[in-house]
Structure 1
């Protein structure tokens, strides 16, 4: 029997959309929460809204613009180049983003009676982001349960998958074409295949090539 209710942290990108399809197979009732944190392309919020409407799930949009003011980064400032120096975090890293996003998602979850918060964070292809690690998620899960005296489960179905395996999961869920054509992963705000040059596009395209090669050869990635 499916657990009753879940909320999905939802940006309209490849990972969060795959997680939404994953959740649809496991929970009776799903809502999504999208964060407007001053990202350089507002299209992200619009794409998330379109997908939520298309799939018939209620969307909550929270204003987190203060985050961009506190932690200047390439995702919120067009005058900061998207780059990564050797041995350093990429300029797209936003201090505290997943800490705040998951915490606010949990607050929404408690208000709507959901016990599960689903997020597309991933340690396998995580670009060095410390707040995408499994140890962080497990730690925060305990903290949230204690802070609100409420039994949350932070579900991270992509945690140990690389991008090729994430494409495999989307295909297994019957969502391969949908994710490929409708989602926005690109840091430059280009839907579907993206700009082809930013780190997010490079990672997505490489995973897609690996998955399609494996599919042609009749094997799983």
Structure 2
């Protein structure tokens, strides 16, 4: 599905950027950064069989707010693969708190690898020079595909595996949040007037965020660190 200003002509000198947009706090901040940096943005979201579609609705709201084209691609095989609490209803969403010593059950095998591959293809088609992804290596849930090593390796692949790279149009993967704490992310987004009230981060996906899943805990801790109050509604505001 495609929405937004797909046929709008890019202004002269305005570089194209694909922003992977989940509808959560980090990806919304990336979208705000990309727009603030003057890029012609195409937002990219995925319906990959995740537990709920509230995040896709949030992504659509954000794309509309910023007035950018928005693509939603369906990847149903993630649910067929399973192996994650986000794509297999038989696996419970953990609520005990983040333990960086262990990869949590919410890790989705191959997700960022596949998302970035599709983003690279879209960047080629739209002749975009940048791909933004909101991965974070500090305050995160221990996912292996959020580490700097993976981002560096994929950036090399994107160069050698594409016609754009061979013909000299370098596609750069930008990770502006990679080395920021959640509090620093919230502070940066707040300064950019990112509408966090439009976002959702909860893994459970009820009308009100659960407040106790790993994603909610990290988000609440980030707002607390930044001295801000999270504008979305929670069933319970857990303290880490």
Is the TM value for this pair above 0.5?
yes
- What's the counterpart of residue 111 of structure 1? 125
Are residue 131 (structure 1) and residue 142 (structure 2) matched?
Answer: no
1:148 and 2:162 aligned: yes
Secondary structure of residue in 1 paired with 2:161: helix
Contact 2:46–2:72 (8 Å) recurs in 1: yes
1:79 is displaced (CA, Å) by 2.2
Which residue of the other structure, out of 163, 183, 201, is the alignment partner of 2:199? 183
How many corresponding residue pairs? 209
Q: Which moved more, 1:25-34 or 1:139-148?
A: 25-34
- What residue in structure 1 maps to residue 214 of structure 2? 199
Q: CA deviation at 1:173?
A: 1.1
Unaligned runs of 5+ in 2: 1-11, 165-169, 229-240
Instruction: State the match for 1:22 in structure 2.
Output: 33
1:216 alignment counterpart = none
Shift of 1:120: 0.1
Q: Is the 8 A contact 2:140 2:218 kept in 1?
A: no
Deviations 1:137-196 (A, max 9, x none): 111010111011321100001000111111111122122xx11x11010101146x7211
Task: Please tell me the root mean square deviation across aligned C-alpha atoms, in Å.
Answer: 1.9
Q: Tell me the CA shift for residue 72 of structure 1.
A: 2.5
Following superposition of structure 1 onto structure 2, how do residues 59-138 of structure 1 map, counting pairs within 5 Å? 59-83=70-94, 87-138=101-152
Following TM superposition, the consecutive aligned residue runs of length 4 or more in structure 1 with deviations greater than 2 angstroms are 83-88
Quick one: distance in 2 between partners of 1:57 and 1:112? Answer: 13
Q: Does 1:174 align with 2:185?
A: no
Tell me the equivalent position of 1:39.
Answer: 50
- In structure 1, C-alpha distance between the alignment counterparts of 2:212 and 2:140, rounded to whole Å: 18
**Structure 1: any 5+ residue segments left out of the alignment?**
214-221
1:80-123 Cα shifts (integer Å, max 9, x gaps): 11227964310100111000001111101110110100000011
Q: CA deviation at 1:68?
A: 2.4
State the distance in 1 between where 2:81 and 2:161 align.
24
Q: Larger % of helix: which? A: 1
Is the deviation greater in 166-175 or in 1-10? 1-10
